[in-house]
Protein backbone atom coordinates (compact mmCIF):
# COMPACT_ATOMS: atom_id res chain seq x y z
CA UNK A 1 0.00 0.00 0.00
CA UNK A 2 3.00 2.29 0.04
CA UNK A 3 4.51 4.28 2.85
CA UNK A 4 2.57 6.01 5.59
CA UNK A 5 3.31 9.37 3.98
CA UNK A 6 1.55 8.31 0.77
CA UNK A 7 -1.79 7.72 2.47
CA UNK A 8 -3.64 11.01 2.52
CA UNK A 9 -6.98 11.92 4.08
CA UNK A 10 -10.04 11.67 1.88
CA UNK A 11 -11.92 14.17 4.07
CA UNK A 12 -10.25 16.41 6.61
CA UNK A 13 -13.17 16.06 8.96
CA UNK A 14 -11.59 17.12 12.25
CA UNK A 15 -13.68 14.58 14.14
CA UNK A 16 -13.10 14.57 17.88
CA UNK A 17 -14.11 10.91 17.98
CA UNK A 18 -15.02 9.77 14.47
CA UNK A 19 -16.76 6.39 14.40
CA UNK A 20 -19.32 4.08 12.80
CA UNK A 21 -18.80 4.61 9.04
CA UNK A 22 -21.33 2.98 6.72
CA UNK A 23 -21.64 3.14 2.96
CA UNK A 24 -25.12 4.08 1.75
CA UNK A 25 -25.30 2.09 -1.46
CA UNK A 26 -28.45 3.69 -2.88
CA UNK A 27 -27.21 7.27 -2.58
CA UNK A 28 -23.50 6.46 -2.99
CA UNK A 29 -22.61 8.27 0.21
CA UNK A 30 -20.46 7.57 3.22
CA UNK A 31 -22.06 8.37 6.56
CA UNK A 32 -20.39 8.45 9.97
CA UNK A 33 -20.65 9.77 13.53
CA UNK A 34 -18.54 12.08 15.66
CA UNK A 35 -19.33 10.64 19.09
CA UNK A 36 -17.79 13.35 21.25
CA UNK A 37 -18.78 16.07 18.79
CA UNK A 38 -22.41 14.85 18.80
CA UNK A 39 -22.85 15.08 15.04
CA UNK A 40 -23.65 12.97 11.99
CA UNK A 41 -21.91 13.49 8.64
CA UNK A 42 -22.39 12.28 5.11
CA UNK A 43 -20.43 12.75 1.90
CA UNK A 44 -21.02 11.59 -1.65
CA UNK A 45 -18.10 9.45 -2.72
CA UNK A 46 -18.00 11.12 -6.15
CA UNK A 47 -17.49 14.53 -4.52
CA UNK A 48 -14.08 15.89 -3.70
CA UNK A 49 -13.96 16.33 0.03
CA UNK A 50 -17.35 17.95 0.55
CA UNK A 51 -19.62 16.82 3.37
CA UNK A 52 -22.81 17.68 5.22
CA UNK A 53 -22.73 17.80 9.03
CA UNK A 54 -25.75 17.87 11.33
CA UNK A 55 -25.85 18.15 15.14
CA UNK A 56 -27.35 15.41 17.28
CA UNK A 57 -29.07 16.08 20.62
CA UNK A 58 -27.42 13.19 22.47
CA UNK A 59 -24.20 11.19 22.24
CA UNK A 60 -24.63 8.81 19.30
CA UNK A 61 -22.17 6.12 18.38
CA UNK A 62 -23.17 3.69 15.64
CA UNK A 63 -25.65 3.73 12.78
CA UNK A 64 -27.34 1.48 10.24
CA UNK A 65 -29.81 1.66 7.39
CA UNK A 66 -33.40 0.44 7.79
CA UNK A 67 -34.98 -1.91 5.26
CA UNK A 68 -37.71 -0.13 3.30
CA UNK A 69 -37.14 3.22 4.99
CA UNK A 70 -34.57 5.03 2.80
CA UNK A 71 -34.94 8.38 4.53
CA UNK A 72 -34.08 7.03 7.98
CA UNK A 73 -31.19 5.52 9.91
CA UNK A 74 -31.23 3.71 13.22
CA UNK A 75 -28.63 4.95 15.70
CA UNK A 76 -27.07 3.55 18.84
CA UNK A 77 -26.92 6.28 21.49
CA UNK A 78 -26.15 7.02 25.12
CA UNK A 79 -29.71 5.94 25.96
CA UNK A 80 -30.26 3.02 23.63
CA UNK A 81 -31.57 3.28 20.06
CA UNK A 82 -33.00 6.19 18.09
CA UNK A 83 -34.10 7.20 14.59
CA UNK A 84 -32.50 9.82 12.38
CA UNK A 85 -34.53 11.20 9.47
CA UNK A 86 -32.62 12.78 6.57
CA UNK A 87 -35.62 14.67 5.15
CA UNK A 88 -36.39 16.83 8.17
CA UNK A 89 -33.07 16.27 10.00
CA UNK A 90 -34.97 14.98 13.01
CA UNK A 91 -33.88 12.73 15.86
CA UNK A 92 -36.45 10.54 17.66
CA UNK A 93 -35.82 8.11 20.56
CA UNK A 94 -36.75 4.55 19.70
CA UNK A 95 -35.78 2.32 22.67
CA UNK A 96 -34.37 3.29 26.06
CA UNK A 97 -32.30 0.31 27.19
CA UNK A 98 -31.75 1.57 30.73
CA UNK A 99 -35.21 3.00 31.35
CA UNK A 100 -35.69 0.68 34.33
CA UNK A 101 -32.10 0.97 35.56
CA UNK A 102 -31.43 4.71 36.01
CA UNK A 103 -28.18 4.15 37.91
CA UNK A 104 -26.60 2.23 35.05
CA UNK A 105 -28.31 4.50 32.55
CA UNK A 106 -26.49 7.54 33.86
CA UNK A 107 -23.13 5.83 33.33
CA UNK A 108 -23.58 3.72 30.22
CA UNK A 109 -23.76 4.31 26.50
CA UNK A 110 -23.84 2.09 23.47
CA UNK A 111 -20.64 1.98 21.46
CA UNK A 112 -20.14 -0.13 18.33
CA UNK A 113 -22.50 -2.58 16.66
CA UNK A 114 -23.79 -4.13 13.45
CA UNK A 115 -26.83 -5.74 11.80
CA UNK A 116 -26.97 -9.51 11.38
CA UNK A 117 -28.22 -11.38 8.30
CA UNK A 118 -31.78 -11.48 9.69
CA UNK A 119 -31.93 -7.73 10.26
CA UNK A 120 -31.34 -7.65 14.03
CA UNK A 121 -29.21 -4.86 15.54
CA UNK A 122 -26.39 -6.02 17.81
CA UNK A 123 -24.71 -3.31 19.89
CA UNK A 124 -22.45 -3.37 22.92
CA UNK A 125 -22.13 -0.85 25.71
CA UNK A 126 -19.40 0.76 27.79
CA UNK A 127 -19.13 2.99 30.86
CA UNK A 128 -18.38 6.68 30.26
CA UNK A 129 -16.94 8.29 27.16
CA UNK A 130 -13.77 6.20 27.00
CA UNK A 131 -14.52 3.20 29.18
CA UNK A 132 -11.90 3.86 31.83
CA UNK A 133 -14.34 4.24 34.72
CA UNK A 134 -15.36 0.61 35.18
CA UNK A 135 -14.51 -2.77 33.73
CA UNK A 136 -16.67 -5.84 33.31
CA UNK A 137 -19.92 -3.96 33.87
CA UNK A 138 -21.17 -3.61 30.30
CA UNK A 139 -23.16 -5.86 27.98
CA UNK A 140 -23.87 -6.88 24.42
CA UNK A 141 -27.49 -6.35 23.35
CA UNK A 142 -29.62 -7.53 20.44
CA UNK A 143 -32.50 -5.38 19.19
CA UNK A 144 -35.14 -7.37 17.31
CA UNK A 145 -37.63 -6.09 14.73
CA UNK A 146 -40.37 -5.76 17.37
CA UNK A 147 -37.99 -3.50 19.36
CA UNK A 148 -37.51 -6.07 22.10
CA UNK A 149 -34.02 -5.88 23.60
CA UNK A 150 -32.14 -9.03 24.59
CA UNK A 151 -28.95 -9.11 26.68
CA UNK A 152 -26.71 -11.55 24.85
CA UNK A 153 -23.46 -11.21 26.81
CA UNK A 154 -22.43 -9.70 30.15
CA UNK A 155 -19.03 -8.95 31.68
CA UNK A 156 -17.90 -6.67 28.85
CA UNK A 157 -15.68 -3.65 29.45
CA UNK A 158 -15.37 -1.70 26.18
CA UNK A 159 -17.64 -3.16 23.50
CA UNK A 160 -16.31 -2.56 20.03
CA UNK A 161 -16.23 -3.95 16.49
CA UNK A 162 -18.73 -6.62 15.53
CA UNK A 163 -19.28 -8.67 12.36
CA UNK A 164 -19.93 -12.08 10.84
CA UNK A 165 -18.04 -14.46 8.58
CA UNK A 166 -19.10 -15.12 5.00
CA UNK A 167 -21.65 -17.84 5.74
CA UNK A 168 -22.96 -16.25 8.94
CA UNK A 169 -21.90 -19.12 11.19
CA UNK A 170 -19.32 -17.16 13.19
CA UNK A 171 -19.73 -13.80 14.92
CA UNK A 172 -16.72 -11.65 15.80
CA UNK A 173 -16.83 -9.20 18.68
CA UNK A 174 -14.03 -7.01 20.04
CA UNK A 175 -13.61 -5.97 23.66
CA UNK A 176 -10.95 -3.28 23.63
CA UNK A 177 -10.14 -3.69 27.32
CA UNK A 178 -9.23 -7.35 26.74
CA UNK A 179 -7.23 -6.47 23.59
CA UNK A 180 -9.17 -9.39 22.13
CA UNK A 181 -11.46 -10.11 19.22
CA UNK A 182 -13.70 -12.94 20.38
CA UNK A 183 -15.39 -15.46 18.10
CA UNK A 184 -18.73 -17.18 18.74
CA UNK A 185 -20.72 -19.82 16.95
CA UNK A 186 -23.72 -17.97 15.51
CA UNK A 187 -27.17 -19.41 14.84
CA UNK A 188 -28.85 -17.14 12.30
CA UNK A 189 -32.29 -18.62 12.80
CA UNK A 190 -32.49 -18.03 16.54
CA UNK A 191 -30.01 -15.17 16.80
CA UNK A 192 -28.09 -17.00 19.51
CA UNK A 193 -24.35 -17.18 20.17
CA UNK A 194 -22.28 -19.89 21.87
CA UNK A 195 -18.78 -21.35 22.21
CA UNK A 196 -16.91 -18.13 23.03
CA UNK A 197 -13.21 -18.31 22.18
CA UNK A 198 -10.36 -15.92 21.40
CA UNK A 199 -10.01 -15.25 17.67
CA UNK A 200 -7.25 -12.63 17.83
CA UNK A 201 -5.36 -11.15 20.80
CA UNK A 202 -3.36 -8.01 20.08
CA UNK A 203 0.08 -7.87 21.66
CA UNK A 204 1.15 -4.31 22.39
CA UNK A 205 -0.11 -0.98 23.66
CA UNK A 206 -2.70 -0.52 20.90
CA UNK A 207 -6.17 -1.98 21.35
CA UNK A 208 -8.73 -3.43 18.92
CA UNK A 209 -11.46 -1.00 17.88
CA UNK A 210 -13.95 -1.28 15.02
CA UNK A 211 -13.88 -4.03 12.43
CA UNK A 212 -15.27 -5.10 9.05
CA UNK A 213 -15.32 -8.49 7.34
CA UNK A 214 -14.55 -8.85 3.62
CA UNK A 215 -16.12 -11.23 1.10
CA UNK A 216 -13.41 -13.83 1.72
CA UNK A 217 -14.01 -13.85 5.46
CA UNK A 218 -10.95 -11.81 6.46
CA UNK A 219 -11.41 -9.46 9.41
CA UNK A 220 -10.19 -5.87 9.00
CA UNK A 221 -9.45 -4.47 12.44
CA UNK A 222 -8.77 -0.84 13.42
CA UNK A 223 -6.12 -0.31 16.10
CA UNK A 224 -6.75 2.52 18.57
CA UNK A 225 -3.38 4.13 19.37
CA UNK A 226 -1.91 1.76 16.80
CA UNK A 227 -1.57 3.82 13.59
CA UNK A 228 -2.95 0.92 11.55
CA UNK A 229 -5.64 -1.37 10.24
CA UNK A 230 -4.91 -5.10 10.28
CA UNK A 231 -6.19 -7.70 7.82
CA UNK A 232 -6.65 -10.94 9.76
CA UNK A 233 -7.34 -14.31 8.12
CA UNK A 234 -10.28 -16.52 9.16
CA UNK A 235 -7.69 -18.54 11.07
CA UNK A 236 -6.77 -15.50 13.18
CA UNK A 237 -3.41 -14.74 11.54
CA UNK A 238 -2.37 -11.20 10.55
CA UNK A 239 -1.79 -11.23 6.80
CA UNK A 240 -1.48 -7.50 6.17
CA UNK A 241 -0.95 -4.28 8.09
CA UNK A 242 -1.93 -0.94 6.58
CA UNK A 243 -0.07 1.88 8.29
CA UNK A 244 -1.89 5.19 8.66
CA UNK A 245 -0.66 8.67 9.63
CA UNK A 246 -3.00 8.84 12.64
CA UNK A 247 -2.71 7.13 16.01
CA UNK A 248 -6.38 6.74 16.93
CA UNK A 249 -7.78 4.61 14.13
CA UNK A 250 -11.39 3.81 15.00
CA UNK A 251 -13.37 1.88 12.38
CA UNK A 252 -13.16 0.58 8.78
CA UNK A 253 -16.01 -0.19 6.39
CA UNK A 254 -16.18 -1.34 2.80
CA UNK A 255 -17.91 0.72 0.17
CA UNK A 256 -17.81 2.13 -3.33
CA UNK A 257 -19.66 0.85 -6.42
CA UNK A 258 -17.74 -2.45 -6.32
CA UNK A 259 -17.26 -2.56 -2.53
CA UNK A 260 -13.51 -2.70 -3.10
CA UNK A 261 -12.65 0.46 -1.16
CA UNK A 262 -11.97 0.71 2.55
CA UNK A 263 -13.18 3.83 4.35
CA UNK A 264 -11.61 4.46 7.76
CA UNK A 265 -12.55 6.91 10.50
CA UNK A 266 -10.21 8.31 13.14
CA UNK A 267 -10.23 10.50 16.25
CA UNK A 268 -8.23 13.37 17.66
CA UNK A 269 -10.05 13.66 21.03
CA UNK A 270 -8.74 17.08 22.02
CA UNK A 271 -10.08 19.77 19.65
CA UNK A 272 -7.81 22.35 21.25
CA UNK A 273 -4.71 20.39 20.26
CA UNK A 274 -5.23 18.93 16.80
CA UNK A 275 -2.34 16.75 15.67
CA UNK A 276 -1.66 16.51 11.94
CA UNK A 277 -4.53 14.72 10.23
CA UNK A 278 -5.99 13.08 13.35
CA UNK A 279 -9.79 12.93 13.09
CA UNK A 280 -9.83 12.58 9.30
CA UNK A 281 -11.57 9.99 7.12
CA UNK A 282 -9.41 7.84 4.82
CA UNK A 283 -10.33 6.05 1.61
CA UNK A 284 -8.15 3.26 0.23
CA UNK A 285 -8.18 0.66 -2.52
CA UNK A 286 -7.17 -2.54 -0.76
CA UNK A 287 -7.42 -5.15 -3.53
CA UNK A 288 -10.29 -7.12 -2.00
CA UNK A 289 -14.06 -6.77 -1.97
CA UNK A 290 -16.25 -6.29 1.03
CA UNK A 291 -19.95 -6.98 1.38
CA UNK A 292 -22.90 -4.58 1.68
CA UNK A 293 -23.91 -4.12 5.30
CA UNK A 294 -27.22 -5.60 6.35
CA UNK A 295 -30.16 -3.31 7.11
CA UNK A 296 -32.25 -3.29 10.23
CA UNK A 297 -35.67 -4.87 9.71
CA UNK A 298 -38.28 -2.94 11.64
CA UNK A 299 -41.61 -4.64 12.29
CA UNK A 300 -44.77 -3.28 10.75
CA UNK A 301 -46.55 -0.78 12.94
CA UNK A 302 -43.50 -0.19 15.13
CA UNK A 303 -43.26 3.40 16.33
CA UNK A 304 -40.66 5.60 18.00
CA UNK A 305 -40.45 5.95 21.78
CA UNK A 306 -42.05 9.39 21.87
CA UNK A 307 -45.06 8.10 19.92
CA UNK A 308 -45.48 5.14 22.29
CA UNK A 309 -45.14 7.36 25.36
CA UNK A 310 -47.88 9.72 24.13
CA UNK A 311 -50.35 6.97 23.15
* φ/ψ (deg, to 5) at 102: -65, -30
Is 160 part of any known ligand binding site? yes
Query: What kind and span of H or E run contains 104?
Result: helix 102-107
8 Å CB contact between 242 and 226: no
How far apart are alpha carbons 122 and 46 in whole angstroms? Answer: 31
Is 19 part of any known ligand binding site? yes
Active site residue 203: no
How far apart are alpha carbons 38 and 100 in whole angstroms? Answer: 25
How far apart are alpha carbons 256 and 272 in whole angstroms? Answer: 33
Number of H helices, E strands in the chain: 2, 23
Residues in the chain: 311
SS3 assignment, position 190:
coil
How far apart are alpha carbons 131 and 129 in whole angstroms? Answer: 6
Residues forming beta bridges with residue 171, ordered by sequence position: 164, 184
Question: What radius of gyration do the chain's Cα atoms show?
Answer: 18
* φ/ψ (deg, to 5) at 166: -65, -35
Q: Which of 209, 214, 243, 270 is catalytic?
A: 209
* φ/ψ (deg, to 5) at 308: -65, -40
Residues forming beta bridges with residue 207, ordered by sequence position: 224
Is 88 part of any known ligand binding site? no
Is 154 part of any known ligand binding site? no
Is 15 part of any known ligand binding site? no
How far apart are alpha carbons 156 and 104 in whole angstroms? Answer: 14
Sequence ranges of the binding site for a divalent metal cation: 19, 160, 209
The binding site consists of: 19, 109, 111, 160, 209
Active-site residue set = 209
Per the annotation, binding residues for substrate are 109, 111
Amino acid sequence: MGSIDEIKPWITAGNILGEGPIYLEDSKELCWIDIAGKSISRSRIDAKGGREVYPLPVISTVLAEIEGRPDELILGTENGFALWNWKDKSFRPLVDIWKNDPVMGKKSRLNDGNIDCRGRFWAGSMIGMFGADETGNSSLYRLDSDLSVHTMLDGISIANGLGWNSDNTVMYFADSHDRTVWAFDFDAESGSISNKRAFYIHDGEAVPDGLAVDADGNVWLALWEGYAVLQISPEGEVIRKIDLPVSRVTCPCFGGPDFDELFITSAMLDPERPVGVEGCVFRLKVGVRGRPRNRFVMGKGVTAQDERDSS
